[in-house]
Amino acid sequence: MGIRFILMVNKQGQTRLAQYYEYLTLEERRALEGEIVRKCLARNEQQCSFVEHRNYKIVYRRYASLFFLVGVDNEENELAILEFIHLLVETMDRHFGNVCELDIMFHLEKAHFMLEEMVMNGCVVETSKSNILAPIQLMDKAS
C-alpha cells in the first residue's frame, strides 16, 4: 500500500538503487524498469513530475545526474511523495556530505539502510533526519 517501489536511475538509464515493496520476479522488474525509465527520461523540464503507468503513478524528480522515481498507488498524494523524495536526498546529503551518484554506488548498503529506516512496507514511517541517521552513525562508529 502507498509506495510500490523506489528507483534511482542515472541519465543513461542504469539503475543505481532499486527497492521494491511488492513482489515482482527479476524479469518483471527489469521490464518494468526499462519501460518506466524510458518514459521518464524522455520528458523535459517543462512537463509535470507525475506519470501514469498501468494502474499506478510514478512520481519523479531529477537531481543533477540522478533520477529518483517512486511508484505509488493511485490514491497517494503526489506532492507528499515529491517532498519525500526531497527528504531522502537531504538525508543522504547530510550523511555523505554533498552526495553524488558515486557515493551511492560505493556505499550502496548505507543508502539501503537509510531507505529502510524511512519506508516500511510501502509507508513512510520516519521523517526526522536525526532519527534516520542515528543507527547508521552508530554502525559507523562501531566499525
Partner 1 sequence: MAGSSLMETFFQRTLEDLIKGLRLQLIGESASISKAMDEIRREIKSTDPHQVHCAPEALVPQLPLLLRHVLGIFPCRRGHVLHSLLPTRGLLTMLLLTPSMSPPLLVLITNQLRKDLTSTNELEVSLALECLSRIATVDLASDLTPELASKDPRSYLPLAPEFYRILVDSRNNWVLIKVLKIFAKLAALEPRLAKKVVEPICDHMKRTGANHEDSGMLIDDDPNLKYLALQALSIVAPNHLWAVVENKEVVIKSLSDGDPSIKLESLRLVMMMVSESNVAEISRVLLNYALKSDPEFCNEILGSILSTCCRNVYEIIIDFDWYVSLLGEMSRIPHCQKGDEIEKQLIDIGMRNPFELVEALLQPRTNLLPPLIRAVYLQSAFKVLVFCLHSYLLQSGIVASTTCPDNLAPNVLEVLSDKDHPEGTDLAPHDASAHSKQEEGFNPRVLNQSSEDLPIEYGKRQVLVMVKQQPLIH
Residues that bind partner 1 (CB under 8 A): 43, 46-52, 78-79, 82
The smaller minimum CB distance to partner 1, of residues 31 and 79, is found at: 79
Q: Give 107-116 contacts, CB < 8 A, sequence gap 24+.
A: 108/16, 108/17, 110/136, 111/8, 111/17, 112/17, 112/19, 113/139, 114/88, 115/6, 115/17, 115/19, 115/88, 116/19
For residue 136, the minimal CB distance to partner 1 (Å) is 32
For residue 70, the minimal CB distance to partner 1 (Å) is 15
- Contact present, 3 and 72 (Cβ < 8 Å): yes
For residue 60, the minimal CB distance to partner 1 (Å) is 11
The smaller minimum CB distance to partner 1, of residues 25 and 46, is found at: 46
The smaller minimum CB distance to partner 1, of residues 39 and 129, is found at: 39
